[in-house]
């Protein structure tokens, strides 16, 4: 059974700092991996989707990488801003299923 782990559970950084969020998974037979953002009490906003054949995806200040062999994905946020404060979730679909398995998320606080 696939397990997704996100460490740390919470992270606090000063504004302007570059940061990396981590996601690890136990079964490397994945089809794609998505990073989501969730604001308090709100739904999920998709940030980046990486197909299993890809190594990374970029959108603005965000860069997500995928290393299937090591069972890891990272989300890099450049020049963090207070508006980036949210919980970041990673989720992945297995090679044989459309179902997403989610991590518990990392709660990010960017301090002005």
- Residues forming the site for another protein (CB under 8 A): 4, 31-32, 34, 36, 41-46, 49, 51, 89, 91, 93, 95, 97-104
Burial class (CB in 10 A: 0-12, 13-18, 19+), 11: middle
Q: How far is the CB of 3 from another protein (least distance, A)?
A: 9
Phi, psi of 29 (to 5 degrees): -80, 70
Q: How far is the CB of 75 from another protein (least distance, A)?
A: 16
- Give the largest Cα separation in the chain, rounded: 44
Q: How far is the CB of 18 from another protein (least distance, A)?
A: 26
8 A C-beta contact, residue 19 and residue 13 = yes
DSSP state of 67: E
Residue nearer to another protein on the CB measure, 36 or 77: 36
Residue nearer to another protein on the CB measure, 25 or 80: 25
């Amino acid at each position: 059974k696939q397990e997704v782990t996100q460490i740390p559970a919470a992270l606090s950084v000063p504004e302007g700092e570059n940061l990396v969020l981590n996601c690890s998974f136990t079964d490397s037979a994945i089809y794609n991996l998505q990073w989501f953002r969730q604001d308090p009490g709100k739904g999920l906003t998709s940030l980046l989707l990486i197909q299993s054949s890809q190594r990374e995806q970029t959108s603005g200040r965000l860069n997500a990488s995928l290393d299937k062999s090591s069972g890891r994905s990272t989300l890099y946020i450049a020049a963090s801003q207070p508006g980036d404060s949210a919980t970041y979730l990673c989720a992945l679909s297995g090679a044989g299923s459309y179902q997403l398995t989610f991590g518990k998320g990392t709660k990010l606080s960017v301090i002005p």
